[in-house]
Amino acid sequence: MRGRRVVITGIEVLAPGGIGAKSFWSLLSEGRTATRGITFFDPAPFRSRVAAEIDFDPEEHGLRPQEIRRMDRAAQFAVVAARGAVEDSGIELDELDPYRIGVTIGSAVGATMGLDDEYRVVSDGGRLDLVDHHYAVPHLYNHLVPSSFATEVAWAVGAEGPSTVVSTGCTSGIDSVGHAVELIREGTADVVIAGSSDAPISPITMACFDAIKATTPRHDEPERASRPFDNTRNGFVLGEGAAVFVLEELESARRRGAHIYAEIAGYATRSNAYHMTGLRPDGLEMAEAIRVALDEARMDPTEIDYINAHGSGTKQNDRHETAAFKKSLGDHAYRTPVSSIKSMVGHSLGAIGSIEIAASALAMEHNVVPPTANLQTPDPECDLDYVPVTARDQLTDAVLSVGSGFGGFQSAIVLARPERSPA
Amino acid sequence: MTTSVVVTGLGVVAPNGLGVREYWSATRGGRSGIGRVTRFDPSQYPSRLAGEIPAFTAKDHLPSRLLSQTDRMTRLALVATDWALADAGVKPEDLPEFDMGVITASSSGGFEFGQNELQKLWSKGSQHVSAYQSFAWFYAVNSGQISIRNGMKGPSGVVVSDQAGGLDAMAQARRQIRKGTRLVVSGAVDASICPWGWVAQIAGGRLSTSDEPARAYVPFDAGARGHVPGEGGAILILEDAVAARGRGAKIYGEISGYGATIDPRPGSDREPGQRKAIELALADAGVEPGDVDVVFADAAAVPELDRTEAEAISAVFGPRGVPVTVPKTMTGRLYSGAAPLDVAAALLAIEEGLIPPTVNVEPAPEHDLDLVTSQPRTAEVRTALVLARGQGGFNSAMVVRAVD
């Protein structure tokens, strides 16, 4: 007895280079990059001066002035993406029991942008230790505690079931979707609006990644700055964005004739219990997460047609996960295309996991594997097929997507076609 | 048959007591930890009282390399975890590392650490920001640091649902144990008693402006005018009951039911979601309202929110149908740390057969609650319901039961 199965029936993506799932997919399939010199603030004092920014006008996307005022940019992304996903799925949420509709939104750093801005004001440019409450905006509490993102999405779609923000650093975007899958499988919810959002491109985030040299100082060619698996890479490019999905129980999705992008067949997360930012090169814990996710999906490693890598573009990451793929998939790792879309849209921290799940689902939809842009000089220690520069036409029935992040979290999620024959 | 999940260890860091014994002795005795803020000078702010944890010296418990990279709330969480593991009689090095997970809740992350680094950024420049800022502030810090300190590689997680988050984390821990993980460290410790956190909490509009510790946080009282915030919480060791019994562990009780909802959007004519969350938790536990011996209320101390909670409790249990208590009147509201601390108190109430009191409250007659005030009440407690609500409409409910 298989129990309840969970499928994606709606997708919306806000990513650098274009808003909406369609323009997101054009960017990926054409191998274009959306990294550029920072425009949000003067990047001159910073070591890293490139980012993947979104040109986003909230009013154009239907947000009202008060919504815009009270929501951090990441919350705005989440709400716009949630509405888009619901529209894409064609689901009539009003006809369902609202207590059976849940919300899970991932975010690594919450309302960092709003907090950075407001701190500067209440502290008068860092002059006051005892910051001045008279200058605090009324929605500052919603920035303090980013569960406000889940509230905003629940209000936007009319959900009244289990709702939360999942915040496991850079795996938040996978873990949020994984959590939603668990809610539907166990029968707590029938539909979950799940995804993640982050808008971290602010001075405080740039400064803290500068401090540990995690982001790239390659400013001369910003469009080529994100170079996962390339021997010349030297750090990630900070990005922003959101992806939100409508997740439904398979049978009810079929009954209403919904378009099904993919089944979320397996998910797992494990910790390396090693270091808050460091990775051991053996990839043991990520391999374990992959193994458990495949086991949950009842799939053999050889069924994986494409690996959507974490591929952040740091040396330690690229080697760590290359080892994890070999450990978990064996020889099949060498036969499976692996790519990192962070080469094109940057690393949007907690959001990227969901954005990569969207890329994985769209790869299945189009039977096209997106490339790793800027991969020109292979790192001899990374010896898998990383799909350099150009997208590849390929039947894609099952995808593994992984994430790795600060705190030591390693997550893996498996997407597959629901009509596949069970192993 | 679903796996039964039990609590085998408690680690408490509360304003009225460090450690389970001190906390319970203060709580059953009605001793409050609320007082004027000492961490900074609160004179210029409209709210000046807090539940601060006194006499916590992190360096007595943690190595110095951890001190430079952690916020106060992470230090408290690490120490609470050490105590909880010791209480459970668990040595993490004796268990398979993938069989132990860490799932906590957070509200504001390491916010005081964040304030210090923001100040350096804006007053001195970006190159002065600490190399630890990238992971000392973010919400995942406690789960990450606990897993590293204790070598726990199993499923981990972090949820943020304001004050309801502590129960959501424990529910997620139970879920992972049911899926096969043997032990999960769960609960939450929160603290943002720094000027920057204080101003953000003031902006939330729910802080009491009273200067009298005995009158500042009086939920369900006609004089309720908001809450006093506090710091701390509880870390609990959750285990597969069979594994716990197998090693002869002391069992405090079972996590037997959970339910969660979020309130409808403002302007909706639908009722708030707390009653539904209670009903879901009772159904999940397979208990009738009449089986519940005590309710630990959320107790927002905002008149409208007290009214809706009293109505939800009365709707399920009948008017004055169940003893209700609010030991957090002695600690203030601890954000995501509050509900795990209430779960700890509920388990201790089961153990001792005593319901801790709600202090300083003269219940307003309109609420129709059997509020346990002033004195603890002796009672056989087999089943307790813990309620938590978060700003933004989060409602969570958890049933804990005695085990035979």
pLDDT tens figures, B25-83: 999 999 999 999 999 999 999 999 999 999 899 999 999 999 999 999 999 999 999 99
Residues B234 and B325 in one domain: no
Q: Which residue of A has its CA nearest to B265?
A: A155
pLDDT in the model for residue A1: 44
Count of structural domains within chain A: 1
Contact assignment for B118 to A140 by CB distance below 8 Å: no
Show residues of chain A in contact with B167, CB under 8 Å: none
d(CA A339, CA B245): 47
Residue with tokens 């085990």: B403
Would residue B284 count as lying in a domain? yes
Whether A369 maps to a domain, the answer reads: yes
Same domain, B97 and B186: yes
Active-site residue, from A61, A143, A320, A347:
A347
As a whole number of angstroms, the distance between CA B100 and CA B31 comes to 36
Q: Are residues B191 and B269 in the same domain?
A: no
Q: Which residue of B141, B143, B162 is in closest CB contact with A145?
A: B162
Out of B246, B270, B293, pick the residue that ends a domain.
Answer: B246
pLDDT tens for A334-393 read: 999 999 999 999 999 999 999 999 999 999 999 999 999 999 999 999 999 999 999 999
Among all residues of chain A, which has the CA nearest to that of B142? A407
Q: CA B296, B298, B300, B306: dihedral to nearest 10 degrees?
A: -70
Residues of chain A in contact with residue B109, where contact means CB-CB under 8 angstroms, are 110
Q: Do B124 and A126 touch (CB under 8 A)?
A: yes
In a domain, B210, yes or no: yes
Residue the block writes with tokens 């500042």? B216
- Tell me, yes or no, whether B252 lies in a domain: no
Residue A408 has pLDDT above 80, yes or no: yes
Q: Mutating which of A186, A208, A267, A410 best tests the B interface, going by the most B Cβ atoms within 10 A?
A: A208
Predicted pLDDT of residue B276:
98
- Average pLDDT score, chain A: 96
pLDDT tens-digit readout, A172-203: 999 999 999 999 999 999 999 999 999 999 99
Using CB atoms, which residue from A126, A182, A186 is nearest to B121? A126
Do residue B238 and residue B385 come from a single domain? no
Among B196, B225, B246, give the residue marking a domain's end.
B246
**Dist CA A148 CA A157 (whole Å):** 14
Q: Which of A139, A310, A320, A382 is an active site residue?
A: A310
- Selecting from A99, A127, A212 the residue whose C-beta is nearest the C-beta of B276 gives A99
How many domains are contained in chain B?
2
Residues of chain A with pLDDT > 90, as a percent, come to 97
- Asked whether residue A22 is domain-assigned, the answer is yes
CATH number at residue B136: 3.40.47.10
Asked if residue B345 belongs to a domain, the reply is yes
Beta-strand relationship, B183-190 and B232-240: antiparallel
pLDDT higher than threshold 60 for residue A224: yes
Q: What is the CA radius of gyration of chain A?
A: 20
Asked if the structure places residue B76 within a domain, the reply is yes
Q: Do B91 and B208 have their domain in common?
A: yes
CATH number at residue A316: 3.40.47.10
Q: Is the pLDDT of residue A422 over 60?
A: no
**Shortest Cα distance, chain A CAs vs residue B380, angstroms:** 32
Flag whether B377 is in a domain.
yes
Residue A226 is assigned to a structural domain of this protein: yes
Among the partner-chain residues A129, A133, A144, the one whose CB lies closest to the CB of B108 is A144
Q: Which amino acid is at A159?
A: A
Instruction: Tell me: do B18 and B68 sit in the same domain.
Output: yes
Closest to A210 (Cα-Cα) out of B127, B115, B138: B127
Chain B: nearest CA to A25, how far in angstroms? 30
Domain hosting A173: range is 6-111+146-416
Position A265 confidence tier, pLDDT thresholds 50, 70, 90: very high
B213 and B346 inside one domain: no
Let me know if A219 is a catalytic residue.
Answer: no
Binary contact (B156, A140; C-beta < 8 A): no
Residue A68 placed within a domain? yes
Residue B1: what pLDDT? 58
Q: How are beta strands B383-390 and B394-401 bridged, if at all?
A: antiparallel
* Nearest Cα residue to B233 out of B319, B66, B106: B106
User: What is the pLDDT, as a whole number, of residue B207?
Assistant: 97
Buried b (16+ CB within 10 A) or exposed e, B122-158: beeebeebbbbbbbbbbbbbbbbbbbbbbebbbbbbb
Where a domain ends, among B246, B278, B309? B246
Domain limits for position B176: 5-246
pLDDT for res A2: 64
ipTM given for this complex? 0.97
Over 80: is that where the pLDDT of B158 sits?
yes
Residues of A in contact with B198 (CB under 8 A): 133
Residue B253 within any structural domain of the chain: no
Inside any domain, residue A139: no
Residues B227 and B163 in one domain: yes
Please say if the pLDDT value at position A43 is more than 80.
yes
Same-domain check for residues B104 and B211: yes
B219 to chain A, closest Cα gap in Å: 21
Nearest Cα to Cα of residue B201 among A399, A142, A160: A142
Which member of A136, A145, A409 has the closest CB to residue B160?
A145
DSSP class of B2: P
For residue A197, the cross-strand partners are: A242
CA–CA gap between residue A284 and residue A326 (Å, rounded): 10
pLDDT of residue A420: 81
CA dist B382 → B218, B282, B346, B348, B353 (Å): 27, 14, 10, 11, 8
A179 given a catalytic annotation: no
Residue A140: inside a domain: no
Active-site residue, from A170, A179, A320, A382: A170
A332 is catalytic: no
The residue type of B350 is I
Q: Are residues B348 and B221 in the same domain?
A: no
Residue B93 within any structural domain of the chain: yes
Residue of A nearest to B392 (CA): A151
Task: Provide the mean pLDDT of chain B.
Answer: 97
- Condensed to tens digits (0 to 9), the pLDDT of residues B93-122 reads 999 999 999 999 999 999 999 999 999 999
Under 8 Å CB pairs connecting chains A and B tally to 277
Do B309 and B223 share a structural domain?
no
Report the percentage of chain B scoring pLDDT > 70. Answer: 100
Q: Is residue A134 part of a domain?
A: no
Statement to judge: residues B386 and B238 lie in one domain: no
Domain assignment present for A32: yes
